[in-house]
Every structure is written in structure tokens, then in C-alpha cells.
A and B are shown apart, each in its own frame.
Chain A
Amino acid sequence: MTDFFNENLTSLHKKLVDKEISATELTKEALNKSKSSQSEINAFITIDDEGALKRAAEIDAVGIDPDNILSGIPFAIKDNIVTKGLKTTAASHILDNFVPVYDATVIEKLNELGIVTIGKTNMDEFAMGGSTETSYFGKTANAWDHTKVPGGSSGGSASSVASGVIPVALGSDTGGSIRQPAAFNGIVGLKPTYGRVSRWGLIAFGSSLDQIGPLTRTVEDNARVLAAISGKDQRDTTTEDQSVPDFTKGIKKGVKDLRIGVPKEYFAKGIDEGVKDVVKKAIAKYESSGAKVDEVSLPHSKYGIAAYYILASSEASSNLERFDGIRYGFSARQDGQTLEDLYVRTRSEGFGDEVKRRIMLGTFALSAGFYDAYFKKAAQVRTLIVNDFAKVFENHDIILGPTTTSPAFDLGSENDDPVKMYMNDLLTIPLNLAGLPGMSINAGFTDGLPVGLQIIGKRFDESTIYKTAYAFEQDSQLFTKHPGVNF
């Protein structure tokens, strides 16, 4: 029996190449772990026994590619990334019967490298939420404490990796949806630079903010998956023509003389003291390793949430117009109804409350008479946030701070208060607005729950993020700690 807590991509690849284990055997183990974890953590919406075993058999038939580390590796995919022939719901009733006719670009790329998709992970409906509680398919539990939220919206991806049921998962991040669940589950989650990874086949939420990225147990694994999914794509015109480096190259260079900026706003009042302590200790570790640490300011970051909820909701209200009960998905059909009635019934019954709130907010912000006051104003504040970061990066290589304002909170504790729920994204949202890459790694624990260290880089400089993360990971050896439940 393979223990994913003691493995990484390099060790799994070696076992596959040495024929210690076949892709089919590894797939069966990942399927079994995923299934037996469902009653405890409910990380999956769909587990694809048949498809995964068929795929693994194909890979075994041609043999593991010794030059390709992802050959035969089991993956979990967030359920807003379309997979040909495999149900993709975005955790919504309105898509609960939707079977895509094509693969997202990231899936195409990974399939070419020989991954095996085990299943599709649970998430907040249409990725709108920070706790995976708005899913139509029930709540997911935190890997470390099953009474706590796993974070969101990529909660299923984060909890399944942290629970050792899968080595790697993909998520998406519009306002923190990879980094926050990675922080809450003590794993490594990266939101790439906007334009690094194709969004083609990602069910759109906020198109100027969305990015797909990897959730893994180790920094090196994360770097390998990012390299596999990155690159210009003709089908997503916002992808940039940037070379895709080997992100593991230079990862061991260390942090001596690295110029680290620590924003004072990221340690403001209201942020959990336990979180601050753990993150401060991690930053002190960098200083003792020879990095140059100084305090910086991101004066407009506190306006990030307000700007984000206008911009992201406006984009969402447009993107979600396409769900109308005509061509695919749930359709509230009745005899003798009008077309208008079909639209309204389908959307009213098909969307959950959080999605409706954001559609309403976005429609309002874009409506006649309010556009300048809300949408344009928010876009102007976005410029100031972009400029804040640019100024800090004039003389710093990297920015460090907490990923979240608190550790994982109790399931059900914030459902009735949208504003309180939105405040959780305070420290992650500014990066999405600025299109910057950011990562969360485990910095330690407070009251038995993981705390995320957020590592923010310059545009297209994920390499420095990986180098920075690797130094702390190797020094702290925190990746050897795990929730202890073996599924």
C-alpha cells in the first residue's frame, strides 16, 4: 500500500519506472483512498473508477515514460475545469448533469503527459466562496479537523491532497481560492501570474482574475505541475508569450541576500494573533538565513475586498448569463411556458444563494446610473493596488505575509453573514487584482491548525517564489507532518 504522506512525484515516478508498482495498481490505490475518505471529508463530487482504470491500463500498455515525471500519476481536478466525457458541475445544480464535449487546455496538456484523473473535486458553487460550503453537493471537511472548513473555493482539492488520498490536485484562484484552502490544510498552493496558464475550459467566474494552479504536498512537486500546465494558448488570448522555465531549476539556491518586503498592512489589527506569531517566526527564519527583510507598505490593500467584490461580481454576472436552460444543464421546463419563464425558473432554481447574491451585486454595479460610481471606481482603485505592488517590487524580490486572517473556522459558522465571509479574502485578493503570482505554504500551527505563509512574486517570476518556498520547507520539514488519518 502506497502512503502518499511519504511520497512525492520523484519517488512515485521511480517506483513506476522500476515497476515496483504499475499505473493500474497506483490508480486503484488512489481510487480506494478517495472513496474511503468520502464519508469523512467529502472531497469529491465525482470519482471516475471506470475512466481512471481504462486510462491507467492504456499507460501500462505503452509503458511509463522514464523522461516524464507525470506519467501514470493520479490527479484530482477541481470540478470547474472541463473534462471530456466526465461530468463537470462547478458544484452547481444548474450543471449537475453536464458532460463536457472537450478538455480544458490544462487537461489536454496533462493527458499528453500521461496523468490519470481520479475524480473531480468539491468546491464552492462556481468558485464563489471561501469555505466550500456553497456547493450543491454538500460540505467538504478540513483535513486536520473534520469540524472545520477546508477553505475554498478549491476546498476539495486542498483537503484531498492534505488527507493523503491523492498526490496532486488542480484548483482555480479568483480571489484566493487556491492559496486560502492550501493555508487551511497546510499544503502548497500556487496561483500563477495572470496569463501564465490557459483559462480555456475553466468555467468562467471573473475572467480578468481567474487562474488555474496546482495544490501539492511539496514545493518541488508544485513546480513540476506548474511547468506542465503553463504556456501560451491560442484559445486564451490573455495567455502571454512567455517562456516556461524549469521551475525546479535554481530552487536550491537559498535565500541569502534575497530582498524581502513585509507589508505592515498584513499584520494589522483584526488578524488572528496566533497566525501573526507563526508567520513572524517564519519570516525571522528567512532573516537568520541571510535574507534582507524590511517593512513595506501596500496602502490600498485594505480596499481590495471592496474593489474585488464589485469587479469579480460584475464579471460573474456577465459570465453566468449563459446558463439559461436551453442548450445544456438543468432546465426548469413546464408545459405551455414562455421562453422568459424558462430562463427565470431555470436560473432561480438552478443557482444557489451565494451565486445569486453575486449576480445581483454585479448586475447592479453594471446597471445604468451606477456604472461609474461602482464599476469604474473599483477599476480605478485596482490601478492603485497594482501601483502599490509595483513600488515595493522596485527594490524587493519577494513579499511575505500571512495568507489568511485566521486559521480554518468552524463549518457553518459564517454562512449567514456574507460580509464576514468576504473579509476572509483580505490578504489574497490584492494579488488577483494585480495579476501577480502568489503561493501559500505551511508556516506552522496555531491551536493544532495549519497557518499559511503567503509568498508574493513579481509577474512571471514564479521561480523566485519556488526558491523562497523551498528554503523554508526544507528547513522546517513541516511537510513531514500530516493529519495522521490514513484512508
Chain B
Amino acid sequence: MSESLPREDAAHVAKLAKLHFNDQQLNLFTGQLANILDLVETLNEVDTDGVKPTYTVSDNINVLREDVAVKSNQKNELLANAPETQDGQIKVPAIIDEES
């Protein structure tokens, strides 16, 4: 595991997480995350060879239900929460560049 978190790694993670930090914030976060990772490193003391990981304590594997269609028809309420709408649709910035 990493001894601490390099600043470039933190910048890469921020990009993956779709977050932007200015230089000062990135320095602060890098330091704090490094401290948290130091705490996490204590897990290395534990011998986990051959131990099955637990991702959930739920015993359920396949949960089936009747396939019943429900008409919720909440279009207006849903659109009321949207930041920008046009002609009954949610508006987003251009996804495809005009020139490409």
C-alpha cells in the first residue's frame, strides 16, 4: 500500500470523482486523506489470508416479485424538480460538439 497519498494521485481521484479543487484545497485534502490512509494501514496488521470478504450481511440472493406494471404518471412533479426544462423535457448542455 502507499505510504502516503501523492498529490498527483489525489488530483487523479478528484478527476474520477468529478470534483474540482483549487491548489490550496487540493493540498489540504491530500494531507487529510494521507492521514486517513495511515489509519487504514492498520488493517495490514490483520492476517486475512483465505478469509472470505463480507460485502453484505444479507442472506438474500435472488429476490423475486410479481412483474406488475404500475402507472405512476408523475411527469409534472418530476419535471418540477428539474433545474431546466423545455417542451416537457429535461434540458442538458450540448453533449455532441457541433463541429465533430
B18 touches A344 (CB 8 A): yes
A101 touches B1 (CB 8 A): no
Given A325-B83, A347-B19, residue A306 in contact with residue B13 (CB < 8 A)? no
Please indicate the chain B residues that have their CB under 8 angstroms from the CB of A419 in the complex: 35-36, 38-39
B60 touches A238 (CB 8 A): yes
CA distance A363 to B58 in the complex (A): 24
0 or 1 for each of B76-96: is its CB under 8 Å from A? (1 = yes): 011011111000001011110
For the complex, is A348 an interface residue (Cβ under 8 Å from B)?
yes
B39 touches A348 (CB 8 A): no
CA distance A324 to B92 in the complex (A): 11
User: Interface residue tally of chain B, by bracket?
Assistant: 35 or more
Please indicate the chain B residues that have their CB under 8 angstroms from the CB of A309 in the complex: 36, 39-40
B39 touches A306 (CB 8 A): yes
Which chain B residue lies CB-closest to A334?
B93
Please indicate the chain A residues that have their CB under 8 angstroms from the CB of B93 in the complex: 333, 337-339, 341-342
CA distance A330 to B38 in the complex (A): 34
CA distance A250 to B74 in the complex (A): 45
Interface of B toward A, CB cutoff 8 Å: 1, 5, 9-10, 12-14, 16-21, 29, 32-33, 35-46, 48, 51-60, 63, 65, 74, 77-78, 80-84, 90, 92-95
CA distance A330 to B17 in the complex (A): 17
B17 touches A305 (CB 8 A): no
For the complex, is A453 an interface residue (Cβ under 8 Å from B)?
no
Q: How far, in Å, is B52 (CB) from chain A's closest CB?
A: 6
Q: Residue A377 contacts which of B43, B58, B65, B83 (CB distance < 8 angstroms)?
A: B43
Q: Residue A435 contacts which of B41, B57, B77 (CB distance < 8 angstroms)?
A: B57
A208 touches B60 (CB 8 A): no
B19 touches A360 (CB 8 A): yes
Which chain B residue lies CB-closest to A325?
B83
For the complex, is A457 an interface residue (Cβ under 8 Å from B)?
no
Which chain A residue lies CB-closest to B45?
A303
Q: Residue B43 contacts which of A238, A240, A356, A381 (CB distance < 8 angstroms)?
A: A381
Number of interface residues of A (CB under 8 A): 69
Q: How far, in Å, is A361 (CB) from chain B's closest CB?
A: 6
Query: At the interface with chain B, which of A45-53, A214-222, A382-390?
Result: A382-390
Q: How far, in Å, is A96 (CB) from chain B's closest CB?
A: 12
A238 touches B39 (CB 8 A): no
For the complex, is A310 an interface residue (Cβ under 8 Å from B)?
yes
**Residues A388-438 near B (CB distance < 8 A):** 418-419, 422, 433-435
Q: Residue A333 contacts which of B39, B77, B84, B90 (CB distance < 8 angstroms)?
A: B84
Q: Please classify the interface of chain B as helix (H, G, I), strand (E, B), loop, or mixed, using the class held by over half of its residues.
A: loop
0 or 1 for each of A183-197: is its CB under 8 Å from B? (1 = yes): 000000000001100
**Residues A78-112 near B (CB distance < 8 A):** 97-99, 101-102
Select the residue from B5, B32, B65 with max chain A CB neighbours within 10 A.
B32
B1 touches A374 (CB 8 A): yes
A379 touches B54 (CB 8 A): yes
CA distance A459 to B58 in the complex (A): 11
A347 touches B82 (CB 8 A): no
B1 touches A327 (CB 8 A): no
For the complex, is A59 an interface residue (Cβ under 8 Å from B)?
no
A101 touches B77 (CB 8 A): yes
Given A327-B81, A331-B83, A339-B95, residue A386 in contact with residue B20 (CB < 8 A)? no
Select the residue from B29, B58, B95 with max chain A CB neighbours within 10 A.
B58
CA distance A35 to B55 in the complex (A): 43
Instruction: Sample 19 A-B pairs with CB under 8 A, ordered by A number.
Output: A97-B81, A238-B56, A303-B42, A310-B43, A324-B18, A328-B83, A339-B95, A343-B18, A347-B17, A357-B29, A357-B33, A359-B19, A363-B16, A367-B12, A377-B48, A380-B54, A383-B51, A384-B46, A422-B36
CA distance A388 to B52 in the complex (A): 14
Which chain B residue lies CB-closest to A342?
B93
Additional pairs, 5, CB under 8 Å, beyond known A208-B57, A360-B19: A208-B58, A240-B59, A380-B53, A381-B48, A419-B39
